[in-house]
Homo-oligomer: A and B are copies of this chain.
């Protein structure tokens, strides 16, 4: 492999020190690929560094990580470069339940015992993707836990004892000895990926498989979803444009002999109804088809049969030492009921309390605004103008402070809930932040729509939100970091071609950490909310979102490639809790659209003209809502969640496992 050979050359340029030897003879190789950089504290004691290296290279049976370690320039430097030998790579691949192509061409959960029947198993650079190889190193780091209470050499006992079964690297991070663990970029691959992804200026398609190989499946799932969702916006965008143009055309064609139509810019009632029903069916279809797409992608990316539940717990997981009742391996045992109790009795009330604070904030804002207006009109002087802005400013400050506080509280709560699996932790954490942010984003709109019932105001607000938030987001996400990157820190941080390898690695450590996919998904969800909840008020929503998403794909791609450290990415089999969030929004949207339809001025006018009672209209709206929800549920039920060929593959694997279990005689 060229890239392997090249890495070997580069490794040669690391000044001083060499790679540690692998503990098993089969893994001995001249070519070691630097995968992960571990930054230690500046003032780290050489004794500590040496001990850390010894833990890293020790075999798993002795409680080590069984990695290959390069101590940087010398034993005193504050950098350690890590790689993983073949055996470690393969064992972790098996432990995570990743599927790889078998010799019969099917993706099959990898088995170390049966490794020679898998394709390309001899060449790690082909067999595993870069993201997988790097995640293996990270996984092994988390794996290292103390066997019994002990002190860390070179660290005074007063600063902390490492308890039995405590995660070593979590402890080292807490003590400030390990500053950061960084996945290293492969500049050549990154260049090729960037070229195929955003640099060529093409507007359609993304190299999803290359993204998966380079950044891992959780990042690739985000971009796949973005891609899928962008394409899905085309039909509602076309419909929206058609509904905007149709009344104009009709007015132009019909001249003056048509009766007074709805006012300029306001869609007709039939248009509103078409839009509402279309949106409802559309959102169901999109989410159902996305589930099928997810199933195909998991097969393609080998994450169909992940066994996270049987793998090592996340490093933060703690509890009295015990034995995993399923795998029989020693690990911390924190009972489920205790976690559920914490969620039910602490987390849920705390989240509820914050939601109440948001609602109170909104209520006092409206109250103070009214007060200020009264005050202004009674004193009527330009000196008093700032008073008019006071409530808004106070509300914004309050909102921001509350948001920051809430994020910290949510983080602490999710950590305290003590989830065993990373995905479970992420789901609970995401749900918390999601509920708050969603409430924060939509409370005002819901208030305008259903309490004030002021649809023109809702339309104006929606249009400004769509345009302004998009501009602000794109700016804050990309333009500012890009400018900062280019003009303020480029000379110091950016890796240059002629730097020695060592410095290139260090330079990557100075980039800011990747902020995660949460804000990206949240942006999509809020957008989707504007579209599905209120779109029958403002038909151009879909078109604006479509335009936004096409640029969003490129800016997000640029961001993750150039502006941040390469994130570690755990193998993922779906977009997690976001799937549910989008589906729930779909249901809420049916309710919302039916009511908006009922409140719309056109319908009111029609009712007056035809003499239809408001009571009758209300009953009609309710029946429509019930029928639409029923249709939605039937559509969701009828479309299978995975394509037939995926079910077949899964059944084959299941059948083989059942057969294998039966063939096995236990002692």
Contact = CB atoms under 8 A, between A and B. Distances in A.
A113 B665 CA distance: 7
Contact of A117 (B614, B622, B648, B666): B666
Interface in A439-495: none
> 7 closest Cβ contacts across the A-B interface?
A111-B662, A657-B657, A660-B660, A657-B661, A660-B661, A660-B664, A326-B651
A181 B655 CA distance: 32
A496 interface: no
B663 A664 contact: yes
A626 B587 CA distance: 12
30 contacts: A109-B658, A109-B661, A109-B662, A111-B661, A111-B662, A111-B663, A113-B662, A113-B663, A113-B664, A113-B665, A114-B662, A309-B651, A325-B648, A325-B652, A326-B648, A326-B651, A326-B655, A327-B655, A336-B644, A614-B615, A615-B615, A618-B619, A622-B622, A656-B661, A657-B660, A657-B661, A660-B660, A661-B661, A663-B664, A664-B664
Interface in A100-119: 109, 111-114, 117
Counting chain B CB atoms within 10 Å of each CB, the highest count among A307, A327, A651, A666 belongs to A666
A404 B128 CA distance: 63
A224 B615 CA distance: 47
A57 interface: no
A626 B591 contact: yes
A558 interface: no
A411 B648 CA distance: 29
Interface of A: 94, 97, 109, 111-114, 117, 307, 309-310, 325-327, 336-337, 591, 614-615, 618-619, 622, 626, 644, 648, 651-653, 655-658, 660-666
Contacts of A658: 97, 109, 307, 310, 657
Nearest to A104: B666
Contacts of A114: 662, 664-666
Number of copies: 2
A636 B614 CA distance: 36
A307 B662 CA distance: 13
Contacts of A626: 591
A519 to B, nearest CB: 27
A658 B94 CA distance: 10
Contacts of A94: 662
A615 to B, nearest CB: 6
Contacts of A111: 661-664
Nearest to A655: B326
A268 to B, nearest CB: 26
A117 to B, nearest CB: 6
A326 B658 CA distance: 12
Contacts of A619: 618
Contacts of A660: 657, 660-661, 663-664
Given A326-B655, A648-B326, A652-B325, A112 B662 contact: yes
A618 to B, nearest CB: 6
A653 B327 CA distance: 10
Contacts of A326: 648, 651-652, 655
Nearest to A116: B665
A666 B102 CA distance: 11
Contacts of A656: 661
A655 B618 contact: no
Given A111-B662, A114-B665, 9 more contacts: A111-B661, A113-B662, A114-B662, A117-B666, A307-B655, A325-B648, A657-B661, A660-B664, A661-B661
A564 B619 CA distance: 52
A587 to B, nearest CB: 10
Nearest to A112: B662
